[in-house]
Amino acid sequence: MLNHIFRAPQRLIGSAALLAIGLGAPALAQEQLAIATGGTGGVYYPIGGGLAEIINNHIDGYSATAEVTGASVENMGLIATGDADLAIALADTVLQAYTGTGPFEGQQLPMVRGLASVYANMVQIVALESSGITSLQDLRGKRVSIGAPGSGTEVNTAAILQANGITYDDINEQRLNFNETADALGNGDIDVGFWSVGAPTSSILNLATTQNIVVISLTEEEMAAAMEFDSTFAQTTLPGGSYTGVSDDIAVLAIPNVLTVSSDMSDDLAYELTKAMFENIAELQAVHPAANETTVEFTMTATPVPLHPGAIRYYEETGAEIPDALRP
């Protein structure tokens, strides 16, 4: 759950009350926006913090805070209940929420809308070099962190394993967040960890400074099986040198991350949020290099659900060609 409650019925003290207790005229009230992110060991949290700063500095009347959550699946629920105003989530999870499939079977969330696709996750499967684990099939019988409960990592892990004939009965699954996974690997409490996150990510970076790690690559057949199983997967490359001791380029699965809101958000606010992010994108790129992928073009090709009408207004102003599938 979110660490703070933003929707108390009387968030602001009225002007008359302030005057009555001698505090003088109040400053202009600011509406609080909650941005649902993920754990502190991933990329969602710094990206969310960067977005919050852009909102605080460039949109009058609003202030925002990045909140730690269980990531993608939980974030879609927070958008549906109104406990988050913006949320970052993996494209497959966003699509499942919108269509009522996967973990959202029987709980379709048709109010989910996109503002932008911000960057692509890389599914990184990490073990210690000393484990001798070098392939996906080596996971059988091993202690495997499949991601935090309600995270996109958990969704991606399940898809990759199922597509390649591995069930949870074949492994000893652990549901740990990124920092917990890195700590457990370093302590010898697990054998393998899955990360679905932008690269490089702090938790793996920190692990690689104290341990010799390997990033496990999928075979061409395993890649193809995963992409056939989940159409939002694509193949990309984790550059050599991303982590200490990992010198070679490694083919990995990638999946876009989508900045989402509810269809209940006003068109004007959705427009201002989208405009502020793209017009100040250098500020977000300074927070994390994953934001180098945050472009209008990427949004047009990677977003799996309709865009909010307010965001569409901004994109039309830029001259972007908006696919019919992205119009509500």
Residue 284 structure tokens: 């977000």
* pTM, entire model: 0.79
Look at residue 234 in the predicted model and tell me its pLDDT: 86
Q: Is the domain of 237 the same as that of 318?
A: no
Report the distance separating Cα 9 and Cα 137, nearest Å: 53
| Residue 39: domain span | 15-119+258-326
Q: Is the domain of 97 the same as that of 187?
A: no
Q: Is the domain of 139 the same as that of 250?
A: yes
Phi then psi dihedrals of residue 199, to 5 deg: -120, 145
CATH number of the domain residue 67 falls in: 3.40.190.10
Q: Is the domain of 177 the same as that of 223?
A: yes
Domain final position from 255, 273, 291: 255
Domain final position from 219, 234, 255: 255
Strands 250-262 and 86-90: antiparallel
Positions in the chain short of pLDDT 70: 1-28
Q: Is the domain of 228 the same as that of 262?
A: no
Q: Is the domain of 182 the same as that of 228?
A: yes
Domain contains 62: yes
Report the distance separating Cα 125 and Cα 160, nearest Å: 11
Q: Is the domain of 169 the same as that of 214?
A: yes
Report the distance separating Cα 323 and Cα 201, nearest Å: 32
Tell which residue, 199, 160, 200, 201, has the closest CA to residue 177.
201
Domain contains 4: no
Q: Is the domain of 290 the same as that of 268?
A: yes
Look at residue 138 in the predicted model and tell me its pLDDT: 98
Q: What's the Rg (C-alpha) of the chain?
A: 21
Domain contains 192: yes
Question: Which parts of the chain are beta strand (E)?
Answer: 31-36, 62-67, 86-90, 112-128, 143-145, 172-174, 192-197, 213-216, 234-238, 250-262
Matching residue, tokens 């690559």 = 217
Report the distance separating Cα 312 and Cα 325, nearest Å: 12
Q: Is the domain of 241 the same as that of 128?
A: yes
Tell which residue, 252, 269, 274, 257, has the closest CA to residue 320.
274
Matching residue, tokens 């102003």 = 317
Report the distance separating Cα 178 and Cα 152, nearest Å: 12
Look at residue 326 in the predicted model and tell me its pLDDT: 97
Look at residue 152 in the predicted model and tell me its pLDDT: 87
Q: Is the domain of 150 the same as that of 223?
A: yes
Report the distance separating Cα 224 and Cα 230, nearest Å: 10
Q: With contact defined as beta carbons under 8 Å apart, do 176 and 151 qualify? A: no
Tell which residue, 314, 304, 292, 308, has the closest CA to residue 47.
292
Query: 3-state DSSP: the chain helix, strand, coil percent, rounded to 5?
Result: 40, 20, 35
Report the distance separating Cα 158 and Cα 21, nearest Å: 58
Beta bridge partners of 143: 172
Q: Is the domain of 225 the same as that of 133?
A: yes
Look at residue 28 in the predicted model and tell me its pLDDT: 62
Domain final position from 240, 255, 270: 255
Q: Which residues contact 77 (CB under 8 A, 6 or more apart)?
A: 109, 150
Residue 76 structure tokens: 């879609």
Residue 239 structure tokens: 């550059």
How many domains does the structure of the chain reveal?
Answer: 2
Strands 234-238 and 250-262: antiparallel
Q: Which residues contact 80 (CB under 8 A, 6 or more apart)?
A: 97, 109, 111, 112, 262
